[in-house]
């Protein structure tokens, strides 16, 4: 589970890291860092409930909209996903021409 104020992706600009990306987050990066620093919340009880994850969402290397999709060599497996709950369910899926499962990780 990711916590709203867990910080990752340390860099020279952000030595303490940055929070994970949240689509439709009402706070911008600066506001979120300030919120997490000032209030140090242990639990945040609001957010989005993800109701549908496509194969491209679960396997970002398949998402042609990403700038560098080949940098993402993994698929996320959620046991309660209605269509892809197991590694086998991924592997039985027909892939677009020119793509293959070799070298991909399942997390």
Q: What is the model's pTM?
A: 0.50
The answer on 40 and 8 residing in a single domain is yes
Domain containing residue 7: 1-48
The answer on 79 and 60 residing in a single domain is yes
- Measured CA to CA, the distance from residue 19 to residue 74 in angstroms comes to 21
Mean pLDDT in the chain?
A: 79
Given a cut of 80, is residue 101 above it in pLDDT?
yes
The domain total for the chain is: 2
pLDDT score for 93: 79
The answer on 97 and 71 residing in a single domain is yes
Tens digits of residue pLDDT in 47-58: 666 668 888 888
What is the pLDDT confidence band of residue 41, given thresholds at 50, 70 and 90? low
The answer on 61 and 43 residing in a single domain is no
Given a cut of 60, is residue 44 above it in pLDDT?
no
The answer on 64 and 42 residing in a single domain is no
The answer on 72 and 30 residing in a single domain is no
- Measured CA to CA, the distance from residue 105 to residue 107 in angstroms comes to 6
């Amino acid at each position: 589970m990711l916590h709203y104020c867990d910080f990752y992706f340390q860099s020279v600009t952000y030595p303490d890291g940055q929070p994970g990306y949240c689509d439709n987050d009402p706070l911008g990066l600066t506001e979120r860092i300030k919120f997490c620093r000032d209030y140090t919340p242990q639990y945040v009880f609001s957010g989005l409930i993800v109701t549908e994850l496509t194969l491209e969402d679960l396997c970002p290397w398949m998402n042609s909209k990403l700038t560098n999709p080949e940098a993402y060599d993994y698929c996320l497996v959620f046991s309660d996903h209605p269509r892809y709950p197991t590694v086998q369910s991924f592997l039985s899926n027909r892939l677009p021409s020119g793509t293959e499962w070799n070298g991909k990780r399942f997390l």
